[in-house]
Structure formats: structure tokens, C-alpha cells
Amino acid sequence: MAETKKGRQTPTQSVFVSQGDYDSRYQEAIDYYKRTKNDVYEWQEQLLKPIMAIDEEGLWQHQKFGYSIPRRNGKTEIVYILEIWALEHGLNILHTAHRISTSHSSFEKMKKYFESMGYVEGEDFASIKAKGQERIELLKTDGIIQFRTRTSSGGLGEGFDLLVIDEAQEYTIEQESALKYTVSDSSNPMTVMCGTPPTPVSSGTVFTDYRKKVLFGQSKYSGWAEWSVTEMTDIHDVEAWYECNPSMGYHLNERKIEAELGEDKLDHNVQRLGYWPTYNQKSAISETEWKELKVTQLPKLVSKLSVGIKFGIDGENVAMSIAAKTENDKIFIEAIDCQSVRNGNQWLIDFLTKADIQTVVIDGASGQNILAKEMKDHKLKTPTFPTVKEIINANSLWEQGIYQKSILHADQPSLTKVVTNCEKRNIGTNGGFGYKCQFEDMDIALMDSALLAHWACLSVKPKKKQQIRY
């Protein structure tokens, strides 16, 4: 009978304090875990060994350890093995997760494991089942584990020996500030973070930053392991499935992954192949900041329209937005459209001909001269071609307008999607910046046209009434 093909059992990328032979308490932890009647996979043993490595004084070699594995491989099982060992040794543990459902599920699983080991609730262990504040105490050792959802203040004033950060891709700086000192008083502390690479909706940055520092050798007493591809990979590449999913051949198989396949290549690469995008997932303009500027009805406008037109950097699309001043001295912006340049400029000309226009700004060397000539042919106002200095100023004023809440918008889905998934890029050598999209399937040209319209609207000086003196 042919042997079942297994996924890669060692990380594709890892950094450990010690290499080769070293003392580790992993085997004792595995022996405890096997009393639950569950099997331990080879890759789980291989990963537990460095996590539970100790130095000559019996202290953990890694005071912090992080690992990333694609979904449904059983990454949290590593944590459960470690936590069972810690409870058997009378340690105090805090197990945190991003969602209440995840935290509660871990509590239920740990309780089930103790029952599988032959422990009886009320005699061998005690539990508190309050959702979001669950707790288990092993009576013979006084070991305690608490299950919590993370907040910006949770954990303050408490002390633990082991801190577990599940769903670490959602771990924020504010949460880390509240939790990282909770293990400071322990004589032998350890923090373990486990998760997957962040997705576009992930709010955390700590996991990503920690990974970078460890891989570049900038963190002492820290370890890291991951199963991942280094670049975007064909989602039908079966060999990549085996390379990045260590539980292939155990509870995970090709049929299950085939059923997951869809149209979102990036999502598949992140979730199933462990791909770490090179951009910063946290948008330069947050969804919260943008939503605060939303209006539910059109405000009263007191100026003509300022138009911003942007030809994309790649020359494929052109976008147009408008802006106008409101009676409370704010600026309302609205995206008109973003179309392929193959559609021509007639849709732009049609709008400019019919609307009550005050000024038009066009940026993008790939199409601005052609559009300007067509505008001249239609006897429209001569547009402005902004300089690099003016573009930098426009980007800066856009950022200020968002922070100062002087911009208003109607929450158009297309514009909101681009704005809340962008990051800054350098322009020039004097600290100037622009924006770029975090994803290949979005075009920053739509937001660029909006900020150009905003800048044009701000730049128009109101006409002074003529005074006649006798």
C-alpha cells in the first residue's frame, strides 16, 4: 500500500535562538497531550521543540515566539499542548483571541481535553463558563488558564507566566500595550503569537512588525516559524499546497482545498499558501476616519464645481471627480467615474460641457494634452496642469482635510474602497508624498482625481465685489 503524501513538515522559513541539539521540554508536553487520545503530527512535534527549548538555567530560550500557518492546519493545537503542560506545572496562563467565539471555542476544547485525560470537573478541575471571561483551574497544581477577548485595557494589573495571542493577525498596538507587561513579573515568562498573514480587513500590525524584526535579526530571545510562499503563486499549483500546508496527508487533503478555490487569487495566496504581501495592510486613511466625513444627504453647495481628472500611472484608466464648497465652509467631493482610456474622452467632454464648471485640473502625462486639445475644440475653459510641487501640496491638503474633518462625501462604495485601502508613497526628495493602492485590482486614480478636485476647489479665491467710490 502506497504511503500517503504529506505536506512539508518543517517551516519554509524560521529563526530560532539555538540550532541543532538543545534541551527542550516538548516531549513531556506531548506525553501529557497524548492522554487526550489525540495524535500529534510530525510538524507539531518539530515546532514544539524550539518553542519549548530551555537554556542551562532552565529558562525559555524564546521569551517570545510567533508562528504563521495557513488556515485549517491545526495551528492552535500547538498552543493547547503547551497550555496543558503549563497547567500541569501550576503556571498562570492568559489565552486571548480577537473574537468571543474563538476564545469560547478554545475554552470548550481545553475543558474537553481535561475530561478526555480522565479529570473530573469539581474533583480535579474547576471551570467558570461566563462567556468572554472563561477560566479553568487544575486543582492539584493550582494552575490556572483564563480565556479572554482582547481590548485596549484588558489584562492591566494582572500577572501571568504564559501569554497566548491567538488570531495574532488582529493584534493591535493598543492591545499589546495593555498585555505585554502582564508577564513581566514571572520568573520565566513566555509570549506565543499564532495566526495567519493579515488580510485586507485585518486591523493588527504587531504580528507583521514582529515577523520583520525577527527575520532581520533585530529581536533578542525571539523565535519565528512560517509555512508560506514568497511570491504570488498559481492557486491551482498542487505542489504549493503541500509545501505550505503541513497537515496535508493528515486531516487536510487535495479535495478539501479544491472546494475552496474561487476567483480571489490574493485571498487564496494569503489564507491557503501563507503569502505575506509586501505592502502594509493598514491603510494610510482608516475606514473610521473616512466614515466620520460621511453625509446622508447632499449639503447646500455655494460654489461652482471644481473638476479633478487623473490619468492613471499605468495609462490604462482615467478618473474624474468633482468638488464644491458648502454653506458651512467645507468641501463636498464626489467621484464621477473611472473608465478605461480605450473608451475615449467623450464621456469626460460630455460632463464638462453640461456642468457648471469653475475650474478643471488634469494630471497624467499619458492623456492630459490630448484631453486639453479636445476641450479647446469644444470651446471649454483651459485646464490647469499641476506641477509636481502642486501635486505634493494637493496630497498634503487632502490629508489635512480628512484630519480636520473639512471634507464631506456621500460614501460612494468605489471611492470608499480605494481611500480605505491606500498607503503613502514618496514624491520628490523633500518629504513629499502621494498615495498608492494596496491591491492590484484597485486604481488609485479615482482618489487622485478626488484630491485634485479638492485642491482646485480650495485654490479658487472668491471674487471680490467691485466697489465704486465717488
**Domains of the chain from N-terminus onward:** 13-271 (3.40.50.300), 287-459 (3.30.420.240)
**How many CB atoms are closer than 10 A to CB 93?**
22
pLDDT at 120 over 80: yes
CB 275 within 8 A of CB 228: yes
Rg (CA), the chain: 29
If you average pLDDT over residues 4-14, what whole number do you get?
94
Q: Which residue has the higher pLDDT, 263 or 279?
A: 263
List, as one string, the DSSP characters of 57-107. Answer: TS-BS-SEEEEE--TTS-HHHHHHHHHHHHHHTT-EEEEEESSHHHHHHHH
If you average pLDDT over residues 409-428, what whole number do you get?
89
Q: Which residues contact 278 (CB under 8 A, 6 or more apart)?
A: none
All 3 cell numbers of residue 137?
Answer: 483551574
pLDDT band at 462 (very low <50, low <70, confident <90, very high): low
Helix (H, G, I), strand (E, B) or coil at 362: strand
159 class by beta-carbon count within 10 Å (0-12 exposed, 13-18 middle, 19+ buried):
middle
Helix (H, G, I), strand (E, B) or coil at 392: helix
All 3 cell numbers of residue 143?
Answer: 494552575
Give the length of the chain: 470
> What is the share, in percent, of the chain residues with pLDDT greater than 70?
94
Quick: pLDDT tens for 10-63.
Answer: 999 999 998 777 899 999 999 999 999 999 999 999 999 999 999 999 999 999
What does residue 54 show for φ and ψ, rounded to 5 degrees? Answer: -125, 155
pLDDT in the model for residue 460 = 77
pLDDT in the model for residue 198 = 87
All 3 cell numbers of residue 17?
Answer: 535562538
In angstroms, the CA 183 to CA 162 distance is 7
pLDDT in the model for residue 58 = 94
pTM above 0.85, yes or no: no
In angstroms, the CA 74 to CA 82 distance is 14
Mean pLDDT, the chain, as a whole number?
Answer: 91
All 3 cell numbers of residue 424?
Answer: 503613502
CB 87 within 8 A of CB 136: yes
pLDDT at 210 over 80: yes
46 class by beta-carbon count within 10 Å (0-12 exposed, 13-18 middle, 19+ buried):
middle
In angstroms, the CA 325 to CA 176 distance is 42
All 3 cell numbers of residue 176?
Answer: 499589546
What does residue 432 show for φ and ψ, rounded to 5 degrees? Answer: -70, 155
What does residue 144 show for φ and ψ, rounded to 5 degrees? Answer: -130, 135
How far is C-alpha 176 from the chain's CA centre?
Answer: 16
If you average pLDDT over residues 113-126, what whole number do you get?
96
User: Which one, of 131, 110, 100, 133, lies nearest residue 33 by Cα?
Assistant: 110
pLDDT band at 168 (very low <50, low <70, confident <90, very high): very high
The edge-to-edge listing of strands for the beta sheet with 317-325 is 357-363, 305-311, 317-325, 331-340, 407-408
List, as one string, the DSSP characters of 156-186. Answer: TT---SEEEESSGGG--HHHHHHHGGGGTTS
**How many CB atoms are closer than 10 A to CB 13?**
15
If you average pLDDT over residues 384-404, what whole number do you get?
92
In the block, cell 484631453 appears at: 371
Alpha helices in 272-419 (DSSP H): 287-291, 346-354, 368-377, 388-403, 413-419
In angstroms, the CA 423 to CA 390 distance is 20
pLDDT in the model for residue 330 = 95
If you average pLDDT over residues 260-283, what whole number do you get?
81
Quick: pLDDT tens for 438-456.
Answer: 777 788 999 999 999 999 9
Helix and strand counts by DSSP (H, E) for the chain: 15, 16
In angstroms, the CA 285 to CA 292 distance is 12
Cα dist. 421→150, 200, 399, 424 in Å? 24, 8, 14, 11
All 3 cell numbers of residue 332?
Answer: 463636498
In angstroms, the CA 48 to CA 160 distance is 20
In angstroms, the CA 97 to CA 50 distance is 23
All 3 cell numbers of residue 381?
Answer: 475653459
